[in-house]
Amino acid sequence: MNTTAKQKEAFNLSEETWHGIPRSKIPWYPTIDYEKCVACGKCVDFCHMKVFATGEKEGKKRTIVQNPYGCVVTCTGCDSICPEGAIKHPSKREFQEKIRALRRSPDFQLKKKKQDKVN
């Protein structure tokens, strides 16, 4: 399986859950510092998950995050591809804390119990 196929497979999984947590509940996506971004498009070309697009922001051509939840959880490849350092993801610590909180949430515990009964 080539890299693109792996990424597409990961994207399909990320649409639903990540380790049992609904992807839509996981705040893992890039943010762009528009003070630094020069709209070079390297992130748009790099990301096979179509997280970025070229659009207009504040009347200027800008790179935008068009599909934040398409970002593969824990992927930070675009951070290092950006020549200006304008792209960031949550810190590892922030991410771990959020995942722990989600796993302790009543919704997650209820779904886990239902899954255990099925298995």
Find the mean pLDDT for residues 64-87. 96
Whether pTM exceeds 0.85? no
pLDDT-based confidence at residue 2 (cuts at 50, 70, 90): very low
Residue 44 lies inside a defined structural domain of this protein: yes
Residue 25 lies inside a defined structural domain of this protein: yes
The secondary structure of the chain, three-state, reads CCHHHHHHHHHHHHCCEECCEEHHHCCCCCEECCCCCCCCCHHHHHCCCCCEEEEEECCEEEEEECCHHHCCCCCCHHHHHCCCCCEECCCHHHHHHHHHHHHHCHHHHHHHHHHHHHC
* Domains in the chain, number: 1
Q: What CATH number did the domain enclosing 13 receive?
A: 3.30.70.20
Residue 115 lies inside a defined structural domain of this protein: no
pLDDT(79) > 60: yes
Find the mean pLDDT for residues 54-72. 90
pLDDT-based confidence at residue 5 (cuts at 50, 70, 90): low
pLDDT(67) > 90: yes
Residue 118 lies inside a defined structural domain of this protein: no
Residue 59 lies inside a defined structural domain of this protein: yes
Find the mean pLDDT for residues 20-34. 92
Give the domain extent around 54: 3-90
Residue 119 lies inside a defined structural domain of this protein: no
Residue 66 lies inside a defined structural domain of this protein: yes
